[in-house]
């Protein structure tokens, strides 16, 4: 299930709205792309073209930035977003055991999305809550001091909640 990109007209106006918040200055490019990604859950090609057009910047620069920074993805992400911190503090507290566990349970490796488009798995280099490592976030919610058993609980919470967000999204 891919994320439906709005029709061309909607997309253009959405991009204009995002760009308008910051102004079409190049210092804001990264933030603009972050917001675009937040909206579409990835950076669709059409959106990048629209950003280039609106900001009057070369498409090559936009692509350069979109592929350079780790935070950006050109592929659609899943509905739920699970992110394991593999920063040093979490690493020495055996974050790798947690990554392995999620890989096994979800059947994907970091950077991938499950075939049904439900869950994306990712790793990050530190979320600044190192005292609670190993740390995992699921849809922005922090889960600290993770163990393999807690991963199971978290997954069932996340996949359970999915239904609520499904209905609200469809209603909207």
Partner 1 sequence: MSTNRLLSQAELVALKERLEKNRNANKTVVTVCAGTGCMACGCDAVLKTFHEEREKDRLENEVEIKATGCHGFCERGPLVVVHPLGVFYQRVKSADAKLIWEQTVNGGHLVNKLLYRDPQSNQIITKEKDIPFYKKQMRIIFGKNGFMDPTAINDYILLGGYLALATALTKMTPEQIIGDIKKSGLRGRGGGGFPTGKKWATCRAVKVDPKYVICNADEGDPGAFMDRSLLEGNPHQVIEGMMIGAYAIGSHEGFVYVRNEYPLAVKNLTIAIKAARDYGLLGENILGTGFNFDIETSRGGGAFVCGESTALMASLEGKVGEPRAKYIHTVESGLWDKPSNLNNVETWANVPLIIERGADWFASIGTENSKGTKVFALTGRVNNTGLVEVPMGITLREILYDIGGGVPRGKRFKAVQTGGPSGGTLIVEVAEPKIHASMVAHGDIRDEDEAVSLLDLPIDFDELTRAGSMMGSGGMIVMDEDSCMVDVARYFIHFLTEEGCGKCVPCREGLVVMLNILRKISEGKGTIEDIEYLEELSQVIIDTSLCQLGGSAPNPVLSTIRYFRQEYLAHVIDKRCPAGVCKDLVSHVIDNTCNGCHACLKSCPTNAIVGEPKRLHYIIQDKCIQCGACYQICRYNSIKRIKRGEGDKLQERARELWQPPLKKVPAEVA
- Contacts with ligand FES, residue ranges (CB under 6 A): 85, 87-90, 126-130, 133, 135
Residues numbered 98 to 117 that lie near partner 1 (CB under 8 A) are 100-101, 104
Residue with smaller CB distance to partner 1, 6 or 30:
30
Residue 24 engages partner 1 in binding (rule: CB under 8 A): no
| Backbone torsions φ then ψ of 83, nearest 5 degrees | -130, 120
- Which one of 144, 157, 159, 161 is in contact with partner 1 (CB under 8 A)? 144
Helix residue spans in 41-128 (DSSP H): 45-55, 59-68, 88-91, 95-106
- 156 lies in the binding site for partner 1 (CB under 8 A): no
In the 8-state DSSP scheme, what is residue 139? T
* Stated length of the chain: 172
Cα–Cα dist 13/66, whole Å: 20
| Min dist. Cβ of residue 133 to partner 1 (A) | 7
Q: 30 contacts which partner out of partner 1, ligand FES, none, CB within 5 to 8 A by kind? A: partner 1
| Residue 96 or 117 having the CB closest to partner 1 | 96
> Interaction with partner 1 in 33-92: which residues (CB under 8 A)?
33-34, 57, 61, 64-65, 68-72, 85-92
Coil vs helix vs strand at 1:
coil
Q: How do strand 80-85 and strand 119-124 relate by DSSP bridges?
A: parallel
Q: Which residues contact 105 (CB under 8 A, 6 or more apart)?
A: 151, 152, 155
């Amino acid at each position: 299930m891919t994320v439906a990109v709005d029709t061309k007209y909607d997309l253009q106006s959405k991009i204009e709205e995002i760009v308008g918040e910051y102004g079409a200055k190049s210092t804001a490019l990264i933030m603009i792309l972050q917001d675009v990604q937040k909206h579409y859950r990835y950076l669709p090609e059409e959106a990048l073209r629209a950003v280039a057009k609106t900001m009057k910047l070369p498409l090559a620069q936009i692509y350069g930035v979109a592929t350079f920074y780790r935070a950006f993805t050109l592929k659609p992400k899943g509905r739920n977003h699970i992110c394991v911190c593999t920063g040093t503090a979490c690493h020495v507290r055996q974050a790798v055991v947690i990554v392995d566990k999620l890989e096994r349970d979800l059947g994907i490796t970091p950077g991938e999305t499950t075939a049904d488009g439900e869950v994306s798995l990712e790793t990050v280099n530190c979320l600044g809550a190192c005292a609670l490592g190993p740390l995992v976030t699921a849809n922005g919610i922090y889960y600290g001091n993770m163990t393999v058993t807690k991963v199971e609980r978290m997954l069932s919470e996340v996949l359970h909640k999915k239904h609520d967000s499904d209905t609200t999204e469809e209603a909207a």
